[in-house]
Structure 1
Amino acid sequence: MYLKDLKTGQSATVLKINKGHAAERRLFEIGLVPGTRVEVLSRHPFKGPLLLQVGNSRLALGQGIAQMVEVELIPDQDL
């Protein structure tokens, strides 16, 4: 599953960033690395960016970059 596939309100753990993408270093710099938990706060329509909570930071990530980030969904803990 990829970050771009998550719905608003879902959380996941980053598994890996596909190598060779130009944004890989930038993602590392902002803390989006394997093992990091991310939550999708909102999704903009028409393939717009995702607003994410990463640790204590919020960031917007475009769909093109989000499709390079492999994640594992964290099951809903309210069940």
Structure 2
Amino acid sequence: MKTMKNLKTGDKARVASIDTGVMGSQQLLEMGLTPGSEFQLVARYPLRGPFLVKLGNNRIAVDYNLAKAVLISEPDEGLERDGLDS
């Protein structure tokens, strides 16, 4: 299965699951990046830098190692209607 690490800037995805054995994964859940949530990758920073993710009306930075712990699936049709395109 793909992880957030496999996404390119502009890609949209749905969180399938998060490997809770990875240090810091609880923080992702607390920020709202939970299984079933849809997001868009806004930016990837070089040299294993963070990933900037649009989640609803918020933007959060996700550490490279945490991005590897976020398993993703394709977003549902109609993701654009959820406001992730703006």
Q: Decide whether the 8 Å contact of 1:9 with 1:40 is kept in 2.
A: yes
Gaps of 5+ in 1: none
Task: Provide the alpha-carbon RMSD of the alignment.
Answer: 1.8
Displacement of 1:75 after TM fit?
A: 8.0
Displacement of 1:44 after TM fit?
A: 0.9
Q: Decide whether the 8 Å contact of 1:10 with 1:74 is kept in 2.
A: no
In the aligned structure 1, how far is the partner of 2:25 from the partner of 2:63?
13
Number of the residue aligned with 2:23:
22
Q: Decide whether the 8 Å contact of 1:15 with 1:71 is kept in 2.
A: yes
Gaps of 5+ in 2: 79-86
Q: Decide whether the 8 Å contact of 1:42 with 1:51 is kept in 2.
A: yes
- The superposition leaves residues 5-51 of structure 1 with CA deviations (integer Å, 9 ceiling, x where unpaired) of 10000000000001222212111110000000010001111221111
User: What's the TM-score, normalizing by structure 2?
Assistant: 0.80
Q: Tell me how many residue pairs correspond in the alignment.
A: 77
Number of the residue aligned with 1:65:
66
> Which is strand-richer, 1 or 2?
1
Number of the residue aligned with 1:44:
45
Q: Percent identity?
A: 34
Number of the residue aligned with 1:8:
9
Q: Decide whether the 8 Å contact of 1:39 with 1:54 is kept in 2.
A: yes
Q: Which runs of 4+ in 1 moved over 2 A?
A: 73-77
User: What's the TM-score, normalizing by structure 1?
Assistant: 0.87
In the aligned structure 2, how far is the partner of 1:61 from the partner of 1:41?
11
